[in-house]
Amino acid sequence: MKRFIIALTFLFALGAAQVSDPLLGRAKVSFSPIPESPPAIPGNAITPAKVSLGKMLYFDPRLSASQLLSCNSCHNLGLAGVDIQQTSTGHGWQKGPRNAPTVLNSAYNVAQFWDGRAADLMEQAKGPIQAGVEMNNTPERVVATLASMPQYVERFSAAFPDESEPLSFDNVARAIEAFEATLITPESDFDLYLAGDSDALTAVQKSGLKVFMDKGCVACHQGVNVGGQGYFPFGVVQRPAGSIRPEADKGRYQVTRTPSDEYVFRSPPLRNVALTYPYFHSGAVWSLEEAVTVMGSTQLGIQLDPQEASEIAAFLTALTGRQPVVDYPVLPPSTADTPKPELDVTAPAG
């Protein structure tokens, strides 16, 4: 009975807060707070052994042919899961074609990569390892590298105890997926606001939230990740500048080969966006306010005035959550059987 009374009191208080702050009621229709616990991954149970192994693999540069690049190179967990580069630098100092999205909260996205070509984080983990412009490796070489180190063999057996061949390229990706699913950022000021604390946002941030919803930004950026849930043309109303939307990159069309998907991209999630510059798939814009202004003109056909852009940018800073604290793992030492680094850009790995 006591618990019922406490719960009822909380609900009344929350209802009163929404009455005194109608904006909160509107926000709760379109947005959800980041939960404290990581989301479940269908077909890939998140276990401590798997997460621990995935963390090691995430930081291990020996997954790359050069043994210089790790997942953390382009998705630096000390930098909100990005590399603060216009486009990432890969094998042999090659430049990738797109800006690296943040890995934080990525388990909440409908799909991975700007064009959604990976259905989940497991599939995504395989891509950069094999891409010639990124880690330039092969599944066979990855497995041979890890199998040459007894500690990794033991770790895979512990993480995948029911499998006849625990150490496989698929399980490399599964372990990384399990670790990445834990990289969530709850307790942002906006989450506290959604939970009923009307004072969690400043007056300027509330004004920005109102403009964000009134102008229509919420149409593409909603849900728990404030985006990342759908695909939209970049340039719905007005074509962006060529430096922002390069003509050669046709987005999702390169996956589906459907003409209507030309220059269509997955909407970027806006969690921690104040920390994940530069912006857009091209990485061409470094200012959050400029990015907001570009989106207003290209997607909504409106010219946001400087105050509106500033207020929206202020609201977006409230999406910065508690950053994950990850201890750098001590990795197993290489052995005489571990393949040697391959640095030649022209020669295939393996």
Give catalytic residue positions.
134
- Residue 198 to residue 220: CA distance in whole angstroms: 24
Q: Give CB contacts under 8 A, 24+ apart, made by 140-144.
A: 140/350, 141/65, 141/339, 141/349, 141/350, 142/63, 142/169, 142/172, 143/167, 143/168, 143/169, 143/172, 144/339
Beta-bridge mates of residue 82: 76
Radius of gyration of the chain (CA): 22
Q: How far apart are CA 84 and CA 112, in angstroms?
A: 19
For residues 229 and 32, is the Cβ–Cβ distance under 8 A?
no
Contact (CB, 8 A) for 181 and 41 = yes
- 171, 172, 178, 182: CA torsion to nearest 10: 170
* Closest C-alpha to 302, from 293, 311, 310: 293
Residue 9 and residue 11: Cα distance in Å, rounded? Answer: 5
At 266, which helix (H) or strand (E)? Answer: strand 264-266
CA–CA distance, 344 with 133 (Å, rounded to integer): 12
- What phi and psi values does residue 217 have, to the nearest 5 degrees? -60, -30
